Structure 1
Amino acid sequence: MAGRSPTMLSRRGLLTGAAAIGGTAALSGGLSACGTAAVANPDTLQFWTLLSGGDGGTMADMLAKVTGSGAAYDVKTTTLVWGEPYYTKLAMAATGGRPPDVAIMHASRVPGYAPGGLLDTWDIDRLAELGVSEDTFPEEIWKKGMMGEELFAVALDAHPTVMMFNTDICDKAGVLESDGKLRATTLPEEFVDLLGQLGGQTKGGHPLSYGYLGDGAQMFRLFYTFYTQHGAAMTFPEGGEAEIDDAIAIESLELMQRLLDGKLAAQRSDYASAIAEFATGRSAMLLTGVWELRTMVETGMSFDMSAIPTLYGTPSTFADSHAFVLPHQNEPDERRRDLTYQFVADLLKGSYDWATAGHIPAYLPVTESPDYAKLTPQSHYAEVAQQVSYEPEAWFTGSGSNFQSEFGAAVQPALMTGKDAAGAVDAFRARVNRLLKTTNPVDPDGTWKP
């Protein structure tokens, strides 16, 4: 049975709406870059991804395995530019009647696209027959693909913010346990003290590397990790006002300011500078995403990885997921849909290889296997998949969205100066409230409420 979908928008409405979501998305060229569905060979599935670089190479290897073992399908992959250009073209393809059979989407972007009928739902029973079900995923990761009682996204992974640490420097500073793990810290003061102990071992750098200048995503990832570690959440009710705990938000931002004091970490550093500082051995720790695993492996340095310490009582880490979605088809071919389900199930079962990209496979039979337990440093932070916190749901949030830029614009001055965290939180709230007064351009009738 094909997935259900709300009433579709007109093409004109979608073009306007997609541009509004993207803010700066380029629409030139129309659908010419989108590709068309396979006709000559009905067993060739069209698969769109935004995965490039090392991730793209890993996915290509995984595709070769699932299509080279007597599979009943072949796959034609179209890789588009990451970010709003990708999401705009995906939306245009769905409303223009030329969608791929399956596509990769960040799970955090689904709330902005499913309401307007751009995505079909997954048949949960159909997936279960292939060994893909709720009990084969971490609870929060499976729930993120749900909207109400319907499943719109099946996660391939979790890619959280984590902590990398130079094991040579940490060993010299005496902050490693006998098993090689970093000494546990459970309070902000303990973490600051640990960094202070590391300071004497860094040469011309800092105990901690963290880059944020001009990068709203980086700022929000760490801020929301600390915020949700308080056991708190943010909600952005459509047509209402942002529900943010001011005291917790201020405390979270003040910890970031404390770390960025020029001694523990550079007060003003961008993402590339932070990566370079850690990669060249001039810092002991780095707060970054799991996707930088390959970068550090290539340096040949001695390092390990772990979850960001739980400093406020509740294990929680900001994360997003690459997820499989079904772009809307007016009349899906049932044979091709069956093959699409089989294809996704095959990729999930073969996602051990996806861990080489640093991401945590979402499919539990993979991460709970003996082989995965031997995989280092990946197995050392696999627990993070059980404590993920996604961005607050709203049509304007999600990976690469304008929301992250809005957050960065509100809080960057406070991080640069170390002053007025309360004013930064007020500015953030005001920006969110303005967005909440704006109608979701791909859901003009408000047919879905988070």
Structure 2
Amino acid sequence: MRRRDTTGPRSAPALGRRVFLAGGLAAAGTALAGCGPADTVLSGRQPLRQWNLFTGGDGARMVEMHAAYRKAHPGIDFQPSTFQWGNPYYTKFAMGAAGGRAFDIATLHVSRLRGLGVGTLISPVPTDLLAEHGITRDTVFPNIWDKCTIDGELYAVPLDTHLVVTYYNRPVCEQAGVLDSDGQLVEIRDENHFFDVCAAVKEVTGQYGVVTDTTHAWRPFWSLYRQLGGEMTLDGELGIDDDKALRALDFLRRLSEEGLAPKASDGAATPANFQNGIAGLMLSGNWELPTLKDAGMDFGMRPFPGVYGEELGQGDSHCFVLPVRREPDDDAVAAAVEYAAWMLKHSITWAGGGHIPAYMPTTESQEYADLQPQSDYRHAAEDVQFDPQAWFSGSAAQLQADAGAIFTGVHTGAVTPEAALDRFKRTAQDLIDTPSPV
């Protein structure tokens, strides 16, 4: 197998890559990570070890896409491994990447790039090679591509955007008179309008107007704070706009205190409450879509409500990254980059789970336009609000966990917005003062 230094000037495509492009995948199933077996070497197939954190509905769609990839690539010995979502996966990723022999390509959240060793554990993506497969900044949502770019180097290939959106029970909202002439939920004009809509919906359900995951209150908080123009810096001294943060937290307090939303609703109970008709609106991630579809609900979706201006919603992006290698391997990098490009080009399957594909030819296709209600919130990807940058920030990171634990008390009434903000600021500063473990 030919090897070269992938960090220096890149030479013309190698024979190994051309042979690889003519090939495809091997047997079905999920393989354990590790070096390719002996029959791989004897057969001449290129090994490709992939790590991901997709279970549940996302996992089922990933398996479906991988099955199609195998069928199209019989010359590749594809070995995917799925690990538990969240900190277990990211701990495994850091240990595996540090070892230098765990995977050829892995899935991450874009928000975790800086905290997981950009340049030390994660290698830049060769954009010239990626462009050979038709993936450039012009084919991907530019804001997502730019988020994957650090110090002028592309460190990840974005697969999607996922973010908090608004779900609405169509029959309930029709009865409440809050649908527009096209049968979609009316666009929220301001804070008072949102509370009026929730009150109208509550009149129909007899219980609540809206339900939101009170244990993950960071997501709506960050959405509202960003709509207000709030900035947050997590370097040296915490930078936060107290007035805007208090206004966002007071919004959460009002929802529960005025009886428009449950004071407590965790991740599992929230879609169940919405599905059971306890509330006619739900503020949650677009990843809940398959559950509601499977339940046969008549529902619609639109971006997170523009309570304080634009419909900005907190979110993230799943992406593919390459490890820093102890020994540069041109053929392994070529296989990994082609795999990432193939997944982007076939991401209409991924869109079925609610995520917005990052590959614009997919989201601009008629096939995607026919996906309902996914296509109704496509434009939200252009304005997704990523978490503030820090090694402890992002999906499944400590900042989200700590903020959720603190802000849930605002919903229950256990703490005031002022007390919650003070506690959050102390906690965030403690995290800032803690050195990164990577």
Question: Is the structural similarity TM-score above 0.5?
Answer: yes
1:244 is aligned to 240
Paired letter, 2:231: A
| Structure 2 CA distance for aligned equivalents of residues 252 and 2 of structure 1 | 50
TM-score computed with the length of structure 2 as normaliser: 0.89
Task: Indicate if the aligned counterparts of 2:6 and 2:330 stay in contact, CA closer than 8 A.
Answer: no
Helix, strand or coil at the partner of 1:283: coil
Paired letter, 2:209: P
Written as runs of structure 1 = structure 2, the 5 A alignment for 1:219-368 is 219-237=217-235, 240-261=236-257, 263-368=259-364
| Structure 2 CA distance for aligned equivalents of residues 207 and 339 of structure 1 | 50
Residue 140 of structure 1 pairs with residue 143 of structure 2: yes
Post-superposition offset of 1:2: 5.6
Helix, strand or coil at the partner of 1:186: coil
Helix, strand or coil at the partner of 2:314: strand
1:66 is aligned to 69
Paired letter, 1:202: T
Helix, strand or coil at the partner of 2:35: coil
| Structure 2 CA distance for aligned equivalents of residues 387 and 71 of structure 1 | 39
Written as runs of structure 1 = structure 2, the 5 A alignment for 1:21-420 is 35-38=33-36, 40=38, 41=40, 42-70=45-73, 72-115=75-118, 117-203=120-206, 205-212=207-214, 215=215, 218-237=216-235, 240-261=236-257, 263-417=259-413, 420=416
Moved over 3 A (4+): 1-5
Helix, strand or coil at the partner of 2:325: coil
Paired letter, 2:317: S
Task: Indicate if the aligned counterparts of 1:279 and 1:301 stay in contact, CA closer than 8 A.
Answer: yes
Q: How many residues align?
A: 408
Q: Alpha-carbon deviations, 1:249-274, whole Å to 9, x = none?
A: 00011111111125211123323222
Gaps of 5+ in 1: 6-32, 443-450
| Structure 2 CA distance for aligned equivalents of residues 190 and 440 of structure 1 | 43
Helix, strand or coil at the partner of 2:165: strand
1:25 is aligned to none
Paired letter, 1:375: L
Gap change, CA 1:123 and 1:146, over 3 Å in 2: same
Task: Indicate if the aligned counterparts of 2:163 and 2:313 stay in contact, CA closer than 8 A.
Answer: yes
Helix, strand or coil at the partner of 1:375: coil
Task: Indicate if the aligned counterparts of 2:32 and 2:80 stay in contact, CA closer than 8 A.
Answer: no
Paired letter, 2:220: L
Q: Alpha-carbon deviations, 1:161-199, whole Å to 9, x = none?
A: 111110000111111112111111120001111111111
Post-superposition offset of 1:39: 5.3
Paired letter, 1:97: G
Gap change, CA 1:140 and 1:35, over 3 Å in 2: same
Gap change, CA 1:115 and 1:102, over 3 Å in 2: closer
Q: Alpha-carbon deviations, 1:256-315, whole Å to 9, x = none?
A: 111112521112332322222111122101111111111101111211111011121234
TM-score computed with the length of structure 1 as normaliser: 0.87
| Structure 2 CA distance for aligned equivalents of residues 365 and 53 of structure 1 | 27
Helix, strand or coil at the partner of 2:63: helix
Task: Indicate if the aligned counterparts of 2:167 and 2:301 stay in contact, CA closer than 8 A.
Answer: yes
Q: Alpha-carbon deviations, 1:324-352, whole Å to 9, x = none?
A: 01122111321121121111101100000
Gap change, CA 1:118 and 1:293, over 3 Å in 2: same
Q: CA RMSD in A?
A: 1.9
Query: Bigger CA drift: 106-115 or 361-370?
Result: 106-115
| Structure 2 CA distance for aligned equivalents of residues 335 and 259 of structure 1 | 55
| Structure 2 CA distance for aligned equivalents of residues 352 and 436 of structure 1 | 39
1:27 is aligned to none
Task: Indicate if the aligned counterparts of 1:46 and 1:76 stay in contact, CA closer than 8 A.
Answer: yes
| Structure 2 CA distance for aligned equivalents of residues 70 and 253 of structure 1 | 51
1:432 is aligned to 428
Helix, strand or coil at the partner of 2:280: strand
Paired letter, 1:208: V
| Structure 2 CA distance for aligned equivalents of residues 353 and 47 of structure 1 | 19
Task: Indicate if the aligned counterparts of 1:257 and 1:418 stay in contact, CA closer than 8 A.
Answer: no
Paired letter, 2:213: G
